[in-house]
Amino acid sequence: MALGTEYDRQGCYLARALEVVGERWTLLIVRDCFYGVRRFSDLRAHLDISRAVLSARLDTLLDAGVLTRDDSGGHPEYLLTEAGRALWPVIYTLSKWGEHHTSGSHPTRIFSHAACGTDLDDHGDCPTCGHAPDPGELIVRPGPGHNPMRRSDRVARALEQPHHLLTPLDTRESAPERASRS
Amino acid sequence: MALGTEYDRQGCYLARALEVVGERWTLLIVRDCFYGVRRFSDLRAHLDISRAVLSARLDTLLDAGVLTRDDSGGHPEYLLTEAGRALWPVIYTLSKWGEHHTSGSHPTRIFSHAACGTDLDDHGDCPTCGHAPDPGELIVRPGPGHNPMRRSDRVARALEQPHHLLTPLDTRESAPERASRS
DNA sequence: CATATTTGGTCTGGTGAACAGACCAAATTG
DNA sequence: CAATTTGGTCTGTTCACCAGACCAAATATG
């Protein structure tokens, strides 16, 4: 935020957190970063967000130290910092709340602990190991509520396969007409 | 949200949750409800939010089933429903994130488990009891980072004393000149 | 290598939301 | 009963968001 009206004088750190991640789109962008989305165009393809706003949000997240920008290879890549990865519990609990307390509720995505294969509980803990794994130790896969018709961009398609969080997501289409047909 | 552009086609329930609690001010209002704030004027006094926007947010939260409105006694009171109380982990983890990952970080408020007196850890668990207490079993009190100068409205003053979450907060001033002086 | 396309943005104009503040009826206080 | 508080609604103005035009650099294609 930092723009317009600052509601940071609230004594509570909740307000501070909301200044960083409380704006429209911001948490969805961060969630996509957990999924391994790293590039501007992929974020746009998955979120249907205007270029100007995406650019502004990325700048805010860079300033806040939630993301870093890696310009080493051709097109820039946006990566979560440690502060960004610390947002995982927020995203997970909010997502679970949405699952339980909004209409219709079959999970669209399921998270499991890579080390033991167990699905996480509602608190984000691994029931087998008895603690909350770091997001980098998790695997996402589509759940029973998943409806592939809902979104059909390249990021959504890539996420139809189980994927290790925080590892880069391959959004290059698998060339349906050219390869494997010859 | 439901207004303007719906970003509910995201396959993820995170987007659904954000439609309800992702708008400006909404989570701060819900947090105040946990603190025991129940009335329109008290929310306004504590949050410095415009009347029109507070009114709109309360309507959204009522529609979403996060709050109920009790008109039984004179002025209306807004109370958290079960769905609303289920937002506690979201508020706690987001607040903790703000505490650790924004500048300056001494907790402004500390939460402890009423049953055993132990302070909660960063996950919202009671270290003594080994699980996360319901918010109704918690006590808030000012922490070392608390700066009473920052806000001096009647709600902030009432919260300078330890207070049981979800129980009504008494915001009537303690009449500094009239009582206890005679 | 020349050209076409994709990528990663910036910069408009138009529209909807937030803000400060006026206004008002009902409830409460004195 | 009069004054004040409460719980709103209704302005006009400012600000954020959106769609879409535009553009330079990087990449892909012939």
Q: What is the spatial distance, in angstroms and rounded to an integer, between the CA atom of A128 and the C1' atom of C17?
A: 47
pLDDT of residue A9: 52
Rg of chain B, C-alpha, whole Å: 17
Identify whether the C-beta of residue B109 lies closer than 8 Å to the C-beta of residue B140. Answer: yes
DSSP state of A118: P
pLDDT of residue B152: 75
pLDDT of residue B148: 60
Q: How many Å apart are CA B18 and CA B87, to the nearest integer? A: 12
pLDDT of residue B5: 43
What average pLDDT is seen over chain A? Answer: 87
User: Quick one: how far is CA A126 from the chain centroid?
Assistant: 20
CB atoms within 10 A of CB B4: 7
Task: Classify domain A13-84 at the CATH topology level.
Answer: Arc Repressor Mutant, subunit A (1.10.10)
Give the three-state DSSP class for A154. Answer: helix
Q: How many Å apart are CA A161 and CA A141, to the nearest integer? A: 6
Q: Which residue has the higher pLDDT, A172 or A25?
A: A25
Q: Is B172 on the interface with A (CB under 8 A)?
A: no
Those nucleotides of strand C lying less than 7 Å from any protein Cβ are 6-12, 16-22, 27-28
Percent of chain B with pLDDT over 90: 74
Length of chain B, in residues = 182
B52-73: average pLDDT = 96
What residue of A is the nearest CA neighbor of B26?
A22
Q: How many Å apart are CA A127 and CA A75, to the nearest integer? A: 40
When pLDDT is cut at 50, 70 and 90, the band that residue A181 belongs to is very low
Identify whether the C-beta of residue B36 lies closer than 8 Å to the C-beta of residue B168. Answer: yes
Residue-range domain boundaries for chain B: 13-84, 87-164
pLDDT digits (tens, 9 = 90+) for A106-155: 888 999 999 999 999 999 999 999 999 999 999 999 988 777 656 778 99
Alpha-helical (H) ranges within chain B are: 13-21, 26-34, 40-47, 51-63, 82-85, 88-101, 154-158
DSSP state of B169: P
pLDDT digits (tens, 9 = 90+) for A24-59: 999 999 999 999 999 999 999 999 999 999 999 999
Which two three-digit tokens encode residue A143?
A: 């759940």
Which residues in B lie closer than 8 A to residue A123 (C-beta atoms)?
Answer: 89, 123, 132
